[in-house]
Amino acid sequence: MLKKPKDFLQSLPTNEFVYLCLNNLENRIIVNKTELEETFDSFSDYNVLIIGDVMVDAYVWGKVDRISPEAPVPIVSCVNRESRLGGAANVALNIKSMGANPILCSVIGNDEKGEEFLNLLNDIQEEQSGIIVSNHRRTTVKTRFISDNQHIIRVDEEDTHELADEIEAEFIHHIKNLIDKHEIHAVIFEDYDKGVITKKLIDKITKFANDNNIPILVDPKKRHYSDYKNVALFKPNFKEFVEGSNLNLEKGNIEGLFSEAKKFQNKMNINKLLITLSELGVFISNEDTFEHIPAVVREIADVSGAGDTVISVATLCLTAGLNAKEIAAISNLAGGIVCEIPVVVPIKKEQLLKESIKLFAKV
């Protein structure tokens, strides 16, 4: 006998990490297998412009077998090091991994880590035409220390001040030129709150994209939360939504969430509001209707980068014309899949299609 979602959640061991993805028969979306395969095939036709803060994700793997005599902290014996593309660059990796063509736009520092970032782009044969190098900021680096698949500590090196006026103007002009040069099917604002995205940039590029009938999707942070107006899809997590909207709302109050979502969408002229609810699944609102998609247990190794995957897959699903429930379910599934790996990795198109067919397609 199937348990109700609430009973199921309460029955979980308290020490079990969970990420929820759709597998509840009452809420299951049903799609045609052939049409789903054709939708995934169509992703290769799309050019997606990604604007946001990029970074180098550095990893140090090691062993912890003793505590430091100098302070009550673990000693990590380094075994291996690796650097990967992070931030908005991880969104570009997800877009590329799904078969579409990403065009990444950002500003990095004229420094050693900036050079490393460009080398990482070159390694995956990703074009660098959207990247501007500045002498007035550092390239962001996040270094994670991992032992036995456990994330021990993270060290951040970064500047978070906003772009100087001259660089901001150059960056806006550069983005507009790229939109004119390429046939762009969607624009993503991937905001990590490091200063690359400014209010003026949001206003100018949003108007330019809307004038050219290009849908805009947003993964926001707090600083510019209320500046993203007139967009196709807005994707905060629950914490970002309640803090950004100054709400006192329980995460499980879905009806209350819908009421506040409608107000926010009307105020901001947002077509779709996609809110990730971690252990409670995802919520998506079209203003007039909403869907709350529950989920089942996935074993979690690392939640880093899951939001990048969700916005990437949601963008391609929206561009392909899927409805709100399909967008939410498939992108939520994608976010759950990448959480099973203890580093930031892009979603694999073949795996997502296979699991989507298994969960969502007609038998």
Active site residues: 308
| CB-neighbour burial class of residue 231 (10 A; exposed 0-12, middle 13-18, buried 19+) | buried
Rg (CA), the chain: 20
CA distance 166 to 284: 38
CB 138 within 8 A of CB 115: no
Amino acid at 321: G
CA distance 209 to 299: 39
Nearby residues of 22 by Cβ (< 8 Å), 6 or more positions away:
28, 29, 281, 293, 294, 295, 296, 329, 332, 333, 359, 360
Which residues share a beta bridge with 31?
Answer: 361
Nearby residues of 3 by Cβ (< 8 Å), 6 or more positions away:
11
